[in-house]
A and B are shown apart, each in its own frame.
Chain A
Amino acid sequence: MTPAHHPGEAWLMDYALGNLDQPFEAVLRAHVGVCASCRDTIAFAERLGGEIVHALPGRPVAFDARAICDHHEQETPRPQAVSRAHGIAVTDDIERCVETYLDSSLDALPWRGVGQGLRLCRLGEQAGARTWLLRGKPGTVLPHHTHAGSELTLVLKGAYFCGDRIYRAGDIEDADESTAHQPVITRDGECICLAVTEGRLRFRDLLPRLVQPLLGI
């Protein structure tokens, strides 16, 4: 699997530094597991961190090297990655990867039909970000909307169009307040996405606005 659409570098830097709240961390981890290009970017983000720290003016410390060598034995640890680029399960099956994370098959989740060939499943809310799954039949047209904050959408299965871009399994759509979009699921098959969204969506049309409070989106 070679994803074509990636989270922006700002997300990958945050990921490399461990700066993200759990919902965004989880969706990025799932993408990074299938994306060699983002793993390279994270490896460089770590390298850049090492270079920048190396350029800081040092502060003296009150402990010394000899005491550490005297008081601690060298170990033979089980192999373990210290890099966040190498330290994640690399898999080509994004659907399975998310099922493992949720500890449930996608079909067994409590989906809720919202009409127009679309089903939603809310997975939770943490630190102002909602995680949800979205599942649509082939050809489904989602309501046109903008965002009040960041949104990362990971395609687990199938594909959808947004304008002239097509997002397929493994791809991430990286959206924020400046993004207005209307995803359209391709006619080839159903599409399942995992999305993490900050703030309420802002729908252009009246009908989705009316049902929005009921759906909690």
Chain B
Amino acid sequence: MLSHRHRPPSPVPDADTRDDRVVDLAADSAARERARETAWLERVRDHGDRDAYERLFAAFTPRLTAWIGAQGLDGASAEAVVQDVMITAWTRARLFDAAKASARTWMYTLARNRMIDHHRAGERRARAHDGYATLLPAEDEAVDTPEQGLTRARIAALLEQLPAEQRQVLLLVYVEGRSHREIAQELELPIGTVKSRARLAFNRLRKLLEDPAP
């Protein structure tokens, strides 16, 4: 699934990461990609390895910036938040425990925590209809262009398997950071309907993704 999809442009293009990318594409394995990210973060944690940090940075920074932008922060604020997250990933890498989470999950939780602080600091989130429009596939249309929508990997294919109305709820929760109550108001649906779509989508993905590896 990875083999025919582009990766987003890396801000740190160098020969090593390009080589890595070729290996990535050939591997066609989400689990191996995850394991590689985790190994980079462990090298940052254990040895202060700058090369490993650069790879981690190239893999995560563009996506976290897109995600935080989709939650309604303007470009400059989103970048400031991501910079904080990436500084934390470097300075506090010793908090990482691969037994509890993969690097991918850990990086996400760092960014999520930073966003919670951001909202608690009273900076109301602007509603990101633009983000929603550019990130979410319209209706039941499958997304297969790298420039638009969810571009990569197994998760994108799994999301495409969900009924459109379930996928919509899941992406509103995860991409835009809406609560299920906000979604019910916006889509003018009973709360019970939104909860049931969220439950079906979540449990389906859980069944498909959950394996013994973290």
Q: Chain A residues in contact with chain B, CB under 8 A?
A: 8-11, 13-14, 16-20, 43-66, 68-69, 72-77, 79-80, 82-84, 86, 149-150, 176-178, 198
**Alpha-carbon gap, A45 to B109, bound state (A):** 10
Inter-chain CB contacts under 8 Å: number: 211
**B residues in contact with A45, CB < 8 Å:** 202
**Minimum distance in angstroms from B3 CB to a CB of chain A:** 15
Listed from nearest, the 4 A-B pairs whose CB atoms lie closest are A58-B62, A58-B8, A50-B108, A18-B116
**A residues in contact with B116, CB < 8 Å:** 18
Pairs A–B under 8 Å by Cβ, sample size 13? A17-B173, A44-B210, A49-B174, A52-B159, A53-B63, A54-B63, A55-B153, A59-B62, A64-B57, A75-B94, A82-B106, A176-B195, A177-B191
**A residues in contact with B192, CB < 8 Å:** 176-178
Indicate if the CB atoms of B191 and A57 lie closer than 8 Å. no
Q: CB within 8 Å of A: which of B70-110?
A: 70, 79, 82-83, 86-87, 90-95, 100-102, 104-110
**Alpha-carbon gap, A177 to B173, bound state (A):** 21
**B interface bracket (residues with beta carbon within 8 Å of A):** 35 or more
Indicate if the CB atoms of B153 and A48 lie closer than 8 Å. no
**Alpha-carbon gap, A8 to B184, bound state (A):** 15
**Alpha-carbon gap, A46 to B135, bound state (A):** 20
Indicate if the CB atoms of A68 and B61 lie closer than 8 Å. no
- Contacts A13-B180, A56-B135, A59-B66 aside, 8 further interface pairs with beta carbons under 8 A come to A10-B198, A18-B113, A46-B101, A47-B105, A49-B108, A75-B92, A80-B95, A82-B109
Indicate if the CB atoms of B109 and A19 lie closer than 8 Å. no
**Alpha-carbon gap, A13 to B154, bound state (A):** 21
**Minimum distance in angstroms from B46 CB to a CB of chain A:** 10
**Alpha-carbon gap, A176 to B190, bound state (A):** 9
Indicate if the CB atoms of B12 and A64 lie closer than 8 Å. yes
**B residues in contact with A198, CB < 8 Å:** 181
Indicate if the CB atoms of B202 and A55 lie closer than 8 Å. no
Q: Given A50-B108, A56-B70, check contact A63 B194 (CB 8 Å).
A: no
**Alpha-carbon gap, A55 to B135, bound state (A):** 10
Indicate if the CB atoms of B155 and A13 lie closer than 8 Å. no
Selected from A69, A73, A75, A84, the residue in CB contact (under 8 A) with B109 is: A84
- Most central of A13, A57, A66 by chain B CB within 10 Å: A57
Indicate if the CB atoms of B65 and A59 lie closer than 8 Å. yes
Selected from B11, B57, B105, the residue in CB contact (under 8 A) with A46 is: B105
Indicate if the CB atoms of A53 and B90 lie closer than 8 Å. no
**Alpha-carbon gap, A73 to B67, bound state (A):** 27
**A residues in contact with B113, CB < 8 Å:** 18, 82
Indicate if the CB atoms of A19 and B177 lie closer than 8 Å. yes
**B residues in contact with A9, CB < 8 Å:** 195, 198-199, 202-203
Indicate if the CB atoms of B177 and A64 lie closer than 8 Å. no
Indicate if the CB atoms of B190 and A177 lie closer than 8 Å. yes
